[in-house]
Amino acid sequence: MNIHRLAQWTARWTLSVLVGIALHIHQHGHRLRRRQRVGHRDRGIDPADQPQRHPHPPRAVVWAMLVGALLPGTVAACGPGGKDVTATSRQVHLGADSHGVPLLRAEVRDTLPHDPQAFTQGLEFRGDSLYESTGLVGRSSLRAGRPGKPPAVYAELKAPLFGEGITLSGDKLWQLTWRNGTAIERDPTTLAERRRFTYQGEGWGLCHHRFSGRQQLVMSNGTDRLTFRDPSTFKATGSINVRQDGQPVTGLNELECAPDGFIYSNVYPTDTIVRIDPSTGSVTAHIDATGLLTPSERSGAQALNGIAAVPGTNLFLITGKLWPRMFKVSFVAK
């Protein structure tokens, strides 16, 4: 073996070792961050409000830079322009622009008071009434009334249930629970419980979608998957995976099936809303909802969560967990 071939073999061996170490470090960090996120959510804590410690990703980046320095041409293994591919995936999760997906912003048209003790999980209008579901074990509730006013009707969800998303379908009001595997059918007028149904996995967001003369419920579970369910029996009838440029968009939370035919979803735990084509699962727009609260308001609030189309308008009402205000907004070009 001549010196040139020996050098090539050594370089390839070094590359495989370094890449393996980098991937191991990154995967370990990903698992750790996922456990932290689940633990935070279980305690009702917004990970976005916690001190950010990322000891593992920087090491992976250092390894990648070292490999790139040692072996010219290895940068081609990264994304366009030498960007870290894993960083690009995180940007998709957080709602960054990519390959022509429109970037919109939430332009405030009006503000309304909101219960700052409400750990908001779901919002939905029917006529002039706003329905809101709140979470946390022992504090979960369902309420309805004029937006910005004290609720006209109120129902508690007793422990150990953790309230999540809601939607209205005909004479039924459906309410999810987080990890209890229970969907509750209620009377929309009195909020009285009628029946309970079971499902597998976690419950996050829920909305009622009409298409081609048919109706279905759409349910999220915090991943990139949306599950379709029968609005009478709550049985699963299908699902789609939400993608942008082939990459999964995760953290799908509160849902709104809007009159324009799209599904709007809060992306937990960010201030981003994504617009989804329900027939393909493709993200068709990112909506930036940052900066709605003042710094002092933000200090006591948690993640953006809660979106409802305002009947008869092109506006949406949005709020968040423990937010002191709700905002009527339009989505305009950024």
pLDDT tens sequence across 106-146: 999 999 999 999 999 999 999 999 999 999 999 999 999 99
Cα–Cα distance for residue pair 83/68, rounded to 1 Å: 12
Average pLDDT, rounded, for the chain: 81
DSSP bridge pairs for 298? none
At 31 the three-state DSSP class reads helix
pLDDT-based confidence at 12, cuts 50/70/90? Answer: low
What value does the mean pLDDT take over residues 276-293? 97
Q: Is 153 or 37 the better-scoring residue by pLDDT?
A: 153
Which H helix or E strand runs over 57?
helix 56-70
Cα–Cα distance for residue pair 323/121, rounded to 1 Å: 12
Instruction: Return the pLDDT at 96.
Output: 44
Q: Are 331 and 104 in contact (CB under 8 A)?
A: yes
pLDDT-based confidence at 211, cuts 50/70/90? Answer: confident
Instruction: Return the pLDDT at 59.
Output: 46
Instruction: Return the pLDDT at 100.
Output: 81
Q: Is 151 or 62 the better-scoring residue by pLDDT?
A: 151
At 53 the three-state DSSP class reads coil
What value does the mean pLDDT take over residues 208-230? 94
DSSP bridge pairs for 272? 267, 288
Give the strands of the sheet with 193-198, arranged side by side. Answer: 163-169, 172-177, 182-186, 193-198
pLDDT of residue 80 exceeding 50, the answer is no
pLDDT-based confidence at 4, cuts 50/70/90? Answer: very low
At 114 the three-state DSSP class reads coil
Q: Are 29 and 61 in contact (CB under 8 A)?
A: no
How large a percentage of the chain has pLDDT more than 90? 69
pLDDT tens, position by position, 16-46 = 444 454 444 445 454 445 444 545 554 465 4
At 96 the three-state DSSP class reads coil
How many Å separate Cα 252 from the centre of its chain?
3
